[in-house]
Structure 1
Amino acid sequence: MDETAAALGDAARWRIVELLAERPRSVGELAELTGLRQPQTTKHLQTLARAGLVTVFPLGQRRVYAIESGPLTGLERRLRQLVQTIEANADERDVVERYRAAIEAESAVADHDRWADGRTFTFDRVLDAPREVVWRHWVDADLLGSWLAPPSMTITECALEPTPGGRAILDYRDPEGRRYRSAGKVSAATEAEHLVFDLSVLDATGAVSFTGHYDLTLDSVQGGTRLRLGLTITETSVEAVPHIAGIGTGWGQVLDNLADTLGTTRK
């Protein structure tokens, strides 16, 4: 398959294939129709032959080439599968486009520190799991690390210690190795019901980009647990634009991760 794609990656060879799709042709005829010299045409035909795309028929003093559809059919099947995969994951592209638009919109208003202070977000999910199981996925570091990172990010440290004054930490890196760190503390915790904590997103120097104040509640409902997460941001710096722009999408993604981990119905 790779050899087929490589052979078709040259414009002259692609034109030869188009001409042979109409009918078998000699080297001289192909050279005349493509505007190439005969030695160049022969070289291209040899490449196509090695890829199984053409077959040569010696006819006396002439050599006539014919197309072989098999490799093209295989390539068509692979391309169709690729298009289906792209279509099935179109929402992933939409996420990137929305994030870019959000950054542009936030950049237009982030002209001073504390520009986004007081902004609030609310997230709601119905999870097909008991409250105690959902709670453990928030306060057990290993379980928390299994769902909290957005796609392509890798968690290197995380903690939500469910006691007043307990540590709140989220440390992860992207595929390029850049590190992102948030630190804070838990201010209130009622087992399997309520968790209140702060997380300050830190820049490379350790300065606060912004602080998120989180309020998590878990309520038992028929068949599972309703999760509500409230977020209010303060201490926003101008440099926090990419972080603020990504809050809605980012938390939506990680809560979807949690939903998938627990095998839930998203709402």
Structure 2
Amino acid sequence: MERIASALGDAARWRIVELLAERPRSVGELAELAGLRQPQTTKHLQTLARAGLVTVFPLGQRRVYAVEAAPLAALGRRLGELAGAIEAHAGDRDVIARYLAAIEADSAVADRERWADGRTFSFERVLTAPRDVVWRHWTDPGLLGSWWAPPPLTVTDCVLEPRPGGRAVLDYRDAEGQYHSQGRVHAATEAERLVFDLSVIEAGTVACTGHYDVTLTDAEGGTRLLLGLRITGTTVDAVPFVAGIETGWAQVLDNLADAVGAFRRTTASPDERREAQP
């Protein structure tokens, strides 16, 4: 496939294939129609032949070339698959576009320290799992690390100790670098409420701090999660972090919804196990 794509990457060769798609032609005819010299045309045809795109028919003193449809059809199918994959993941492109728009908007107003102080965000999800399962996904480091970062970030360390004064840590990385946030838990009521702060550390200093308030209540079919977030202590360098909150947390909570759903499918409660017994 790579050889076919490379052979068709030259404008002159592409024109030759277009001409051969109409009917088989001689080297001289192709050279005349493509506006090339015959030696050039011959070299292009040799490249196309090595890629399996054309076949030569020696007819006495003439050499007539014909295009092969199968390799082009295979390339067409592969391009169709790529186009389908792009369409299927169009949402990821939209996320990047929204993030860029947020960065541009915040950059226009981030002309002083504490420019975003007091900015608030609110998120809500109804999760298909009971409150104790959702709580574990917030407070068990292994479960927390399975969802607490949007793609393509990877969590390297995360802790939310569910007690007043407990540690709050979120470290993650991507191909460009590593990122660190730390803070403290202020309040924790099992399976009901978790309040904590996290400060983004950039170049050894706090770029901004987020105060988080997570509440869990019963909902039909599962748990209603409400997440409130208030920003304080912002510096001018906090633009990419503040701008990413809206799209980032939307992705992260989608991750959480998937994680608790998968957990429920693979881990039955004692009541569910008893009900399943004959």
* TM-score, with length taken from structure 2: 0.92
Q: How far 1:147 sits from its partner (Å)?
A: 0.5
Instruction: Give 3-state SS (helix, strand or coil) of 2:70's partner.
Output: helix
1:7 aligns with 2:21: no
Give the structure 1 partner of residue 144 of structure 2: 144
Q: How far 1:85 sits from its partner (Å)?
A: 1.1
Gaps of 5+ in 1: none
Verify the 8 A CA contact 2:150 2:248 in the aligned structure 1: yes
Amino acid at match of 1:246: G
Map of 1:169-248 to 2, 5 A cutoff? 169-176=169-176, 178-204=177-203, 206-248=204-246
Give the structure 1 partner of residue 80 of structure 2: 80
In 1, Cα distance between equivalents of 2:228 and 2:248: 14
Instruction: Give 3-state SS (helix, strand or coil) of 1:15's partner.
Output: helix
1:26 aligns with 2:13: no
Verify the 8 A CA contact 2:139 2:161 in the aligned structure 1: yes
Gaps of 5+ in 2: 263-278
Question: In terms of mean alpha carbon deviation, does 82-91 or 183-192 score higher?
Answer: 82-91
Map Cα deviations across residues 79-122 of structure 1 (whole Å, 9 max, x no partner).
Answer: 11111111111111111111111111111111111111111101
Instruction: Give 3-state SS (helix, strand or coil) of 1:263's partner.
Output: helix
Amino acid at match of 1:250: G
Verify the 8 A CA contact 2:137 2:260 in the aligned structure 1: no
Amino acid at match of 1:64: V
1:256 aligns with one of 254, 257, 263: 254
Over the aligned positions, Cα root-mean-square deviation in angstroms equals 1.0
In 2, Cα distance between equivalents of 1:82 and 1:201: 38
Verify the 8 A CA contact 2:163 2:187 in the aligned structure 1: yes
Q: How many residue pairs were aligned?
A: 262
Map of 1:11-90 to 2, 5 A cutoff? 11-90=11-90
Q: How far 1:263 sits from its partner (Å)?
A: 2.7
Give the structure 1 partner of residue 265 of structure 2: none
Map Cα deviations across residues 50-77 of structure 1 (whole Å, 9 max, x no partner).
Answer: 1111111111110100011101111111
Q: How far 1:262 sits from its partner (Å)?
A: 2.2
In 1, Cα distance between equivalents of 2:126 and 2:170: 24
Question: In terms of mean alpha carbon deviation, does 194-203 or 40-49 score higher?
Answer: 40-49
Amino acid at match of 2:42: T
Q: How far 1:247 sits from its partner (Å)?
A: 0.5
Give the structure 1 partner of residue 276 of structure 2: none
Amino acid at match of 1:199: L
